[in-house]
Amino acid sequence: MATILITGGSGLIGNALTKLFVERKFDVIILSRNNNKEINGAKTALWDIEKQKIDEDAIRQADYIIHLAGANVGDKRWTKKRKKEIVDSRTKSSALIVKALKEIPNKVKVVVSASATGWYEETPLSNQTDIRRTETEPANKDFLGETCRLWEESIDPITGMNIRLVKLRTGIVLSNEGGAFPEFKKPLRFGIAAVLGNGKQIIPWIHIDDLCRIYLEAITNESLHGVYNAVAPRPVDNKTFVTSLAKKIKGKFFIPFYVPSFMLKIILGEMSIEVLKSVNVSAEKIKSTGFQFLYPTIDAAFEQLILNHD
Ligand SMILES: NC(=O)c1ccc[n+]([C@@H]2O[C@H](COP(=O)([O-])OP(=O)(O)OC[C@H]3O[C@@H](n4cnc5c(N)ncnc54)[C@H](OP(=O)(O)O)[C@@H]3O)[C@@H](O)[C@H]2O)c1
């Protein structure tokens, strides 16, 4: 049985991946800062990123590594301290994986690392449907662009170690279990469809099940190398996203409300850039590998998520 080590496997994506890999009869080890004993049928191993210490047995046992660990980007305001934590938690954890793979005898064949569509520069609103960001474009110069660049660079030494490396620039993950989707639904409890800013900004999104299937593909399909955008092929603008969701949940009984950009800036601070930014990201490269999305449209994704919510 193959063993898969998932860093940050206790989080939103890690939980879903653990369930999928356990179902597929992989042995899963979650690498965590806390001793959680057993999560979803996976064992937990410990690491201390600051002290650059890692459970050596976990590295020896692993056939594959999925690297998800990192301080949550949307949880807290981006103070100077939080920004440092967001970057360090990713780059120092990557450095520890690289060091461990150099120093500890192992049989790791593939490392798949998370990255984010925050890599990309905004798409101009005038021709946003024509321009789609592809994997060859340079990183944006803002905070998330820089974070993604440093994050991806920190895991790149893996390629010199005869280990296949795949990096997944992930869009906003839609899941009932956490992240952005439950936040989008909250105002609908009061019958309000909260459109952010002018609502024209394009959202690069992906259904959690498709994302997990891309991770599985990255592990099992040896032809995958380097960077892939992990986004659904049909992105939508914020207004379409919010009103389609409102129609699915409330039928005709909702009122669209435009939350002005200045209010978002007051509430979220610098993080407001991310909810107001328009990025149209291409899914062509992952599609060209033969990967087929279960939820290519926002309607299909909402249908599944709403149907499967208790
Ligand atoms: N969810 C999305 O929409 C989305 C979109 C694009 C990219 N991504 C990226 O994909 C990865 C996984 O996302 P997720 O939504 O599953 O994240 P998550 O729910 O926030 O989980 C991330 C995990 O990382 C570990 N972690 C948290 N703070 C840390 C710190 N300061 N130092 C080291 N480890 C830390 C935690 O594991 P322990 O507490 O067990 O150590 C946590 O469970 C993240 O790197 C995220 O940026 C997510």
pLDDT tens digits along 76-103: 999 999 999 999 999 999 999 999 999 9
Report the pLDDT averaged over residues 92-121: 98
72 C-alpha vs ligand 1 centroid, how far in Å? 5
- Closest by alpha carbon to 31, among 2, 50, 8? 8
Which domains, from first to last, does the chain contain?
Answer: 3-174+204-232+281-294 (3.40.50.720)
Instruction: For a ligand 1 pocket test, name from 54, 72, 212, 228 the mutation site with the most ligand atoms within 8 angstroms of its C-beta.
Output: 72
Instruction: For a ligand 1 pocket test, name from 170, 177, 228 the mutation site with the most ligand atoms within 8 angstroms of its C-beta.
Output: 170
Beta bridge pairs of residue 48 = 53
For 21-32, what is each residue's pLDDT tens digit?
A: 999 999 999 999
pLDDT at 62 over 90: yes
Joined together, the tokens standing for residue 270 give 């610098």
Under 8 Å CB-to-CB from 265, ≥6 apart: which residues?
A: 272
Output the CA–CA distances (angstroms, integers) from residue 180 to 57, 171, 231, in the order listed.
Answer: 35, 11, 15
Residues with CB under 6 A from ligand 1: 8, 10-14, 32-34, 49, 68-73, 85, 89, 93, 114, 116, 170, 172-173, 179-180
Rounded Cα distance between 24 and 195, Å, is 40
Residue 249 contacts residue 306 (beta carbons within 8 Å): yes
Ligand 1 nearest atom to the CA of residue 9, by list position: 43
Nearest alpha carbon, ligand 1 atom 9: 114
In this prediction, residue 123 carries a pLDDT of 87
In this prediction, residue 125 carries a pLDDT of 73
For 131-153, what is each residue's pLDDT tens digit?
A: 899 999 999 999 999 999 999 99
At residue 310 the predicted structure's pLDDT band, cuts being 50, 70 and 90, is low
pLDDT at 217 over 60: yes
In this prediction, residue 253 carries a pLDDT of 93
Rounded Cα distance between 42 and 27, Å, is 7
At residue 36 the predicted structure's pLDDT band, cuts being 50, 70 and 90, is confident
Joined together, the tokens standing for residue 164 give 């296949």
pLDDT at 154 over 90: yes
For 158-186, what is each residue's pLDDT tens digit?
A: 999 999 999 999 999 999 999 999 999 99
83 C-alpha vs ligand 1 centroid, how far in Å? 14
For 237-277, what is each residue's pLDDT tens digit?
A: 999 999 999 999 999 999 999 999 998 888 888 888 888 99
251 C-alpha vs ligand 1 centroid, how far in Å? 34
Q: What is the 3-state secondary structure (H, E, C) of the chain?
A: CCEEEEECCCCHHHHHHHHHHHHCCCEEEEEECCCCCEECCEEEEEEECCCCEECHHHHHHCCEEEECCCCCCCCCCCCHHHHHHHHHHHHHHHHHHHHHHHHCCCCCCEEEEEEEHHHCCCCCHHHCCCCCECCCCCCCCCHHHHHHHHHHHHHHHHHHHCCEEEEEEECEEECCCCCHHHHHHHHHHHCEEEEECCCCCEECEEEHHHHHHHHHHHHHCCCCCEEEEECCCCCEEHHHHHHHHHHHHHCCCCEEEEECHHHHHHHHHHHHHHHHCCCCECCHHHHCCCCCCCCCCHHHHHHHHHHCCC
In this prediction, residue 259 carries a pLDDT of 92
Average pLDDT, whole number, for the chain? Answer: 94
Rounded Cα distance between 295 and 210, Å, is 7
Q: What percent of the chain stands above pLDDT 90?
A: 87
pLDDT at 128 over 80: no
At residue 304 the predicted structure's pLDDT band, cuts being 50, 70 and 90, is very high
- Would you say the pTM of this structure is higher than 0.95? yes
Residue 56: how many CB atoms within 10 A of its CB? 14
Ligand 1 nearest atom to the CA of residue 151, by list position: 45
139 C-alpha vs ligand 1 centroid, how far in Å? 21
pLDDT at 37 over 90: no
Classify each residue of 25-41 as buried b or exposed e, where b means 16 or more C-beta atoms within 10 Å of its C-beta: ebbbbbbbbeeeeebbe
89 C-alpha vs ligand 1 centroid, how far in Å? 9
At residue 126 the predicted structure's pLDDT band, cuts being 50, 70 and 90, is low
CA contacts within 13 A on the Cβ side of 53:
5
67 C-alpha vs ligand 1 centroid, how far in Å? 9
